[in-house]
Each structure stands twice: as structure tokens, then as C-alpha cells.
Amino acid sequence: MTGAPEDRKIHVACIMDGNGRWARRRGLPRTEGHTAGEEALATVVRAAAARDVGWLTVFGFSTENWVRPRSEVRHILSLHRKLFARTAEMDANNARSSWIGRPFDEPGARTPVEVQRAIGKAMADTAGNDGLVVTVAFDYGSRAELVRAASRTIAASGGDCALIGAASIGANLYDPDLPPVDLLVRTSGETRISNFLLWQIKGAKVHFTERTWPDFDAAELDRALALLARGPSA
């Protein structure tokens, strides 16, 4: 894959890892790392918008993250409420807020009501922007997404196996309009996908970097984007 098809812009997805490590190296509480990570995301949103990226999807909070210490989870929830409230900044970048995760009204969903409200307000307030789409994956896990999509597809098929395929499953993902990922970024030296967008990253280039997420900046984004100009792997 050499980048997005000519008829659409690039979709970049980020696994924002290393907030805790960033804080530990500086002798700070883990919560300070998450706060720095939120500011790094704001930097990346501005950089992506300036580079005419079409979609930026970030792994904000996974279905597995609920087992973290309660105080850390509370801090992360507070940061996400603030993140979704940055409407003026999104408007300045002509960016639109979006979200994927376990639907609020379905069994197993754990997104608190105050975060639900923040997500809904952010999406409504930025709906008129037509530039970069910033999707935050919150209470998200790719296995949960795929199990749900498969179940809904089977139910809709009425037992007709001919109606079950890639197109019908894709139509039942959390956001069927989210295009395939062209570039996946993982920070902090980890080389794992961590149950993130397993369906959508088929064929994506992958950029692993030693930098922790709070240190990820426009220059590092450019290094990642350069992968798309190198042509297919040998």
C-alpha cells in the first residue's frame, strides 16, 4: 500500500502509549503523564490538519483499561471530558469530533454518563466542520467490535450464508463510514497492535517509535507519514 487511494485523504491511527513511562522518567505521578498525553494529542491534531490528513483515529481508552487503579481511571475520564470540550480548538482546525466504542445502550458498555454527554456535545458542536475527522476510541476493543458486527450480520442474514461477507460485516462496524487505515502509529517502543482497529488496519503501513506519546510531535508525524511515500514493502 502506497497511501490512500487518490479519491480520498489519508487515515492515520495512533496507539498513544507511554504516558506512564514519560511520567516515571521525570519522577512524576502517572496522572501527569496522561495530562501531558492530552496536550500531545492537541499538537498532533493541529499537525494532521495542517498536513491535510483526512482522518485521525486515536486509542483513548480500551475495554481492558477499566482494571487500572481507580484514581488513574478517574483522572483519565476527567481528561476525556476536557478533550471533548476543546471545541474552539477543533473549529480553528476545521476538525470534526467523532467516537467509536461500545454503544452506550448495549450490554457491557461502561462509558460514564458525563463522558457520554461530552462526546455527544462535541460531535454536535463540530458537525459543521468539513476537514480532519478526529475519532477517539473510548471503551473500545476491536474483538468486541467484530463480535458485535458478526452477530448483527448473522441476525440480519436470516440464515442465508450468501449474505454474510466482508461487505456486510463492514457495514455493521461501530462506524461503517470510517475508511481503511493507511498508517498505524505505535509509540513508546512497543510493537503490539493491542486489540485496536483489527479490521480497519488491513494493508496499513506501521510506524513504531521509541518516543513516548507525550513526546510525539509534528516532526515525528512527518517521519511516520514518510512511510506512505516509500511504496510497497519488498
State which H helix or E strand residue 62 sits in.
strand 55-62
Q: Is 65 a catalytic residue?
A: yes
C-alpha cell at 47: 499537525
Q: What are the phi and psi torsion angles at 63 (to 5°)?
A: -65, -20
Say which of 7, 17, 91, 93 is annotated catalytic.
17
Q: Is 7 a catalytic residue?
A: no
Cell match 513516548: residue?
A: 212
Q: Do residues 99 and 119 touch, judged by C-beta distance below 8 A?
A: yes
DSSP 83: H
CA dist 121 and 80 (Å) reads 13
Say which of 7, 19, 65, 94 is annotated catalytic.
65
C-alpha cell at 70: 481507580
Q: What one-letter code names the amino acid at 79? A: L
SS3 content of the chain, % helix, strand, coil (to 5): 45, 15, 40
Dihedral (CA of 33, 38, 44, 48) sign: positive
CA dist 69 and 7 (Å) reads 45
Q: Which residues are catalytic?
A: 17, 65
